[in-house]
Amino acid sequence: LQGPRYVSPAPNGGFVVSEECGDVKVFMSSHKLLCSLSSKYGHRFGNPAGVCVDVDGSILVADEQRRTVHLFPEHGAPICLVSSGLRRPAGMACSSFGHLFVADAGDNCVKVFK
């Protein structure tokens, strides 16, 4: 890993890690690298920060530089879930009720999205 920042468990026993170098890596339960989101989806991150995995197994990534949150489904193209209202998104968490919690260090608060 190159400058690991945030980590989240994945439903399959693996985990997801954001890196300072501008990528997000997905690891299997055996701790072997499964994929890089930049390579798999052809997505360019500004500065990936918080990561979490929803109940469907999709990976969500907060981009601190671009002030967005993207969802990366197992199959299909990335989807921008939050494109405005964030100043400096950092840590994130997904609830089993469909809520997304984003710690916004730029506004000193936690923002909740459904």
Contact 57, 63 (CB under 8 A): no
Strand arrangement, sheet containing 89-94: 89-94, 100-104, 109-113
- Counting residues of the chain whose pLDDT is more than 90, the rounded percentage is 89
What tokens does 94 get? 């997904």
* pLDDT value of residue 11: 80
Q: What is the mean pLDDT of residues 82-104?
A: 95
Any idea which residue has 């197994």 for tokens?
57
| Res 41: pLDDT | 96
Compute the distance between CA of residue 50 and CA of residue 89 in angstroms, rounded to an integer.
7
Domain boundaries, the chain: 4-113
Looking at every residue in the chain, the average pLDDT score rounds to 95
Q: Is the pLDDT of residue 102 over 90?
A: yes
* 38 in Cβ contact with 45 (< 8 Å): yes
Six-digit token string for 104: 């916004």
pLDDT tens digits for range 34-81: 999 999 999 999 999 999 999 899 999 999 999 999 999 989 999 999
CATH code of 4-113, in short, is 2.120.10.30
- Beta carbons within 8 Å of 37's beta carbon, 6+ residues apart: 23, 24, 25, 26, 43, 45, 59, 61, 72
Kindly give, in sequence order, each residue whose CB lies less than 8 Å from that of residue 66, ignoring residues fewer than 6 positions away.
Answer: 45, 46, 47
**pLDDT of amino acid 113:** 95
